[in-house]
Amino acid sequence: MTDLKPRYDLAVIGAGPAGLAAATLAATRGLSTVLLDEQAAPGGQIYRAITRSPVRNPNVLGTDYWHGADLVGPFRDSGADYLPGAAVWSVSRTLDIGLSRDGAARILPARHVILATGALERPFPVPGWTLPGVMGAGAAQILLKTSGLVASGNVVMAGSGPLLWLLAWQYLRAGARIDAILDTTPRENWRQAMPLLPAFARSGYVGKGLKLLLEVRRKVKVIGNVSALRAEGDGRVQSVVYRQGNGAEQRLPADTLLLHHGVIPNINLANATGCAQSWDEAQRCWVPDVDGWGATSVEGVAIAGDGAGIGGALAAEHRGRLTALDALHRLGAIDRATRDRDAAPHREALDRALRGRDFLDALYRPGKDFRVPADDTIVCRCEEVTAGQVRDAVKLGVSGPNQTKSFLRCGMGPCQGRLCGPTVVEVIADARGVSPAEVGYYRLRPPVKPITLAELASLPKAEDEVAAVMHH
Amino acid sequence: MFQRLPDAGGERVSFTIDGQPAEALSGDSVAAALIANGVGACRTTPVSGAPRGPYCMMGVCFDCLVTIDGTGNQQGCQIRVHPGMRVETQNGKREIER
C-alpha cells in the first residue's frame, strides 16, 4: 500500500462495471483517483476473472461477459491507481476510508467517494439451505468464471430470475448436465408483468433472453409452478424435495442444489456510512436514496451501479460515468453546464439499458413462500436463528430487525446481516401485518468487514491519541 | 461435487488440506480449491456444530471460513491459493491462539 498517494480527489470502492467506468472517466479527466477492490482482479462479480478466466472457449460464458474486457483496458490506461485485495471496512462522514490489505489496516482520506459495491444474491431461505452442496447460482457462476469448475453428479437448479437461466445456458455450453430446473416464479406474476411487456419487447434483452430460455428449455427438464422446496441430506445435500402448486411432494436426488431468486443491492457499506435508504416495493428490497447523479444523503458520498438499485451490468457502467461527472463538478474540475452536457449521452444510454427492467422486476418477483419462510427454516445462517424464533420474538413485542439482534443475536454474526436482513424484515413485516418500509432495516456500523485487533493496532496513531489512552 | 472443464488453462498449484497433499489451478480461491478437491464442507458452526461449505463465493456469507497457514477464520473465497499453502478445515469457533 506504500505506492498509494496520501490523499485522493476521488476514491471508488468496487471494481465491477460501475466502479471501473467511474474511475476511468474521473482519472482520464484529471482527478487523482484510486479504485479500491476486495477481489484480486478487476471485474466485480458480473465480469469476475475477466482478465484471467481459465475458461478458454469464449462461447461458454457468452459475449455479454466478455464485454467486461472493454472496461478493464481503458481503466488500465486511465492513470487511476488500483488497489486490489483491499477490504474497505469503513467510510466516515469526513470521507476517511478504513481499509485492510494483507493483514494491515490504514486510513485513506479522499475528497469524494463513489461506492460501487454492487449486488448480492437475494437470500433464499428454504429448509436445508445451510447444507454443504447447496449454493447460490451466482456462486456456481463464480466457480465457472474463475476456476472453470462446473457441478457434476446430480445437479438441480431452483428459483427464478435471469441469472438462473443464464447459468443454466452457460452450463449447457460448458457441456455440464443439469437434472432439472425447479422454477419458483409465481404464475400470478405474469398478470403484473404483462402490461410492462411492450417496453421489454423494445429492449435489447428480449431476443437474447428468449433464445437463451428456449435453448435451456429444449435441453433441460423444467418443472414449473414450484411452491415449496427443501434440501435434505446427512452432512451434505443428497436430495431436493419440492411441490408443484398444491400437488404432492416429489423428490429428486441432488449432489448440488443451486438456488437463486434475484439480486439485491449490497447496502452494508452505504448503510454504515449513514446513507439514507428506502424500501423499494417493486424490487422488494432496501435501496439507498440517490439522486440522478448517484448522490446520497451523505455529503461527498455517491453510489453507482446496482448498489443503488438493481439495473444490471450495462446500466451500472453508465451510472458509474454519471457519478464520475458529478464528482468532477463537485470537486470544481468542471462547471455544471459541462457536467450536464457531457452526461447527456450516458443518460441516454442508461435509459436504453434500463428499458424493460420493470418487466423483469414484476415477472421475477419472488413468491411470498420463499421470501417469508416457514417456522422451521433457518433465517440467520451465522447464528442459526429460525423464522419461528423471529415470529416468537414479534409476539413478545419486537417491532423491527434491530431488536431481533438483542433478543436472538439474529444478524450479529460475521456476515453482518447480509444473508438474513432481507428475510428478517419480510418475516417481521408479515407477522405484524405492515409493510417492510415500516419495519426498517438493521442499523449497521463499521467495520462492515471483520478486522482483527492487530489490524486496528497497526493504524498510524498521533502522539496525542496515544497519550489520551495511556493517561486515562 | 464439481469438476474442472477439460480445457481449463492454468498452472497447477500444490498445497495441503488438513495435511494431505492437494492440487489446485493458479487463480483458484481457497474455497474453489477445496471444492475442486471434493471437500464440500470446510467447517462446523460454533452454534450447533453443523457442517458448512462455501455458499456465496463472493465474500458475503462467511460460510467458507477456514484456517490458512495457521490463521483461523479466513474467508476461503477471498484468498487465492498459493504453492505450499496449508489449509485446514475448522471446527466451531476460531481458537484464541490462531
Tens-place pLDDT, residues A220-247: 999 999 999 999 999 999 999 999 999 9
Q: What is the pLDDT of residue A229?
A: 97
Assess A146–B contact: CB distance below 8 Å, yes or no: yes
Q: Tell me the one-letter amino acid at A365.
A: R
Q: CA-nearest residue of chain B to A41? A: B27
pLDDT for residue B96 is more than 80: no
**Residue A409 identity:** R
ipTM of the complex: 0.97
B44 touching A (Cβ < 8 Å): no
Q: Residue A472 above 70 pLDDT?
A: no
How confident is the model over A404-418, as a mean pLDDT?
A: 95
Which among A55, A147, A415 has the least Cβ separation from residue B28? A147
Other beta carbons within 10 angstroms of residue A376's beta carbon come to 10
**Which letter, b or e, does each residue of A284-320 get, where b requires 16 or more Cβ atoms within 10 Å of its Cβ?**
bbbbbebeebbbbebebbbbbbbbbbbbbbbbbbbbb
Q: Which of A126, A147, A385 to mutate to test the interface with B (most CBs of B within 10 A)?
A: A147
Which residue among A149, A175, A415 sits closest to B35, beta carbon to beta carbon? A149
- Whether the CB of B9 is below 8 Å from some CB of chain A: the reply is yes
CA-CA distances (angstroms) from residue A158 to A129, A379, A450, B60, B83?
12, 18, 31, 21, 36
Neighbours of A74 (CB within 10 A): 15
SS3 B14: strand
C-alpha cell at A459: 493504524
pLDDT band at B92 (very low <50, low <70, confident <90, very high): confident
Provide the pLDDT for residue A203.
85
HSE on the CB side for B42, CA within 13 Å? 30
SS (H, E, C) chain A: CCCCCCCEEEEEECCCHHHHHHHHHHHHCCCCEEEECCCCCCCCCCCCCCCCCCCCCHHHHCHHHHCCHHHHHHHHHCCCEEECCCEEEEECCCCEEEEEECCEEEEEEEEEEEECCCEEECCCCCCCCCCCCEEEHHHHHHHHHHHCEEECCCEEEEEECHHHHHHHHHHHHCCCCCCEEEECCCCCHHHHHHHHHHHHHCCCHHHHHHHHHHHHHHHCCEECCEEEEEEECCCCCCEEEEEECCCCEEEEECCEEEEEECEEECCHHHHHHCCCEEEECCCCEEEECCCCCCECCCCCEEECHHHHCCCCHHHHHHHHHHHHHHHHHHCCCCCHHHHHHHHHHHHHHHHHHHCCHHHHHHHCCCCHHHHCCCCCCEEECCCCEEHHHHHHHHHCCCCCHHHHHHHHCCCCCCCCCCCCHHHHHHHHHHHHCCCHHHHCCCCCCCCCCCCCHHHHHCCCCCHHHHHHHHCC
Q: Mean pLDDT of all residues in chain A? A: 96
Task: Report residue A8 as a C-alpha cell.
Answer: 485522493
Does B97 have pLDDT greater than 90? no
* Record: contact B58-A152, CB cut-off 8 A: no
Those residues whose C-beta lies under 8 Å from the C-beta of residue A45, and which sit 6 or more positions away, are A16, A118, A119, A138, A142, B58
- What is the model's pLDDT at position A461? 80
Nearest to A149 among B32, B52, B80 (CB): B32
Report the pLDDT averaged over residues B34-40. 97
Q: State the pLDDT at residue A1.
A: 56
| Average pLDDT score over residue span A147-176 | 97
Residue A288 is predicted with a pLDDT of: 98
Residue of B nearest to A142 (CA): B57
Flag whether pLDDT at A186 surpasses 60.
Answer: yes
Residue A206: what pLDDT?
Answer: 85
Q: pLDDT tens digit string along A270-282?
A: 999 999 999 999 9
pTM (two decimals): 0.96
Phi, psi of A172 (to 5 degrees): -65, -45
Of chain A residues 5-34, which have a CB less than 8 A from chain B? Answer: none
pLDDT tier at A454, thresholds 50, 70, 90: confident
pLDDT of B32 strictly over 80: yes
The angle formed by the CA atoms of residues A100, A103 and A105, to the nearest 5 degrees, is 35
Q: What is the pLDDT of residue B98?
A: 67
pLDDT band at residue A464 using 50, 70 and 90 as cut-offs = confident
Yes or no: say if A427 and A67 are a contact pair by the CB < 8 Å rule: no
B5: helix, strand or coil: coil
Burial of residue B44 (CB within 10 Å: 0-12, 13-18, 19+) is middle
Q: Does A327 touch chain B (CB under 8 A)?
A: no
Cell numbers representing residue A146 in the block = 474463475
Query: Closest Cα partner for A39 from B91, B74, B13, B80?
Result: B80
Taking the CA of residue B79 and the nearest CA in chain A, the distance in Å comes to 8
pLDDT at site A410:
95
**Closest to B36 (Cβ–Cβ): which among A56, A149, A236?**
A149
Cis omega (within 30 of 0) on the bond before A447?
yes
Confidence of residue A471 (pLDDT cuts 50, 70, 90): low
Q: Is the pLDDT of residue A469 over 80?
A: no
User: How does pLDDT run across A88-114, given as a tens digit for each residue?
Assistant: 999 999 999 999 998 889 999 999 999
A368 touches chain B (CB under 8 A): no
Q: Tally Cβ neighbours within 10 Å of residue A280.
A: 17
In the prediction, which pLDDT does A257 show? Answer: 98
Is A54's CB within 8 Å of B25's CB? yes
Look at residue A2 in the predicted model and tell me its pLDDT.
55
**Residues from chain A contacting residue B45 (CB–CB below 8 Å):** 384
pLDDT above 90: residue B93: no
Grid coordinates 467510510 are at which residue? A91
Q: Is the pLDDT of residue A287 over 90?
A: yes
pLDDT tens across A323-372, in order? 999 999 999 999 999 999 999 999 999 999 999 999 999 999 999 999 99
pLDDT tens profile A133-147: 999 999 999 999 999
Q: Please, which pLDDT band fits residue B84 given cuts at 50, 70 and 90? A: very high
Give the residue on A whose Cα is nearest the Cα of B39: A132
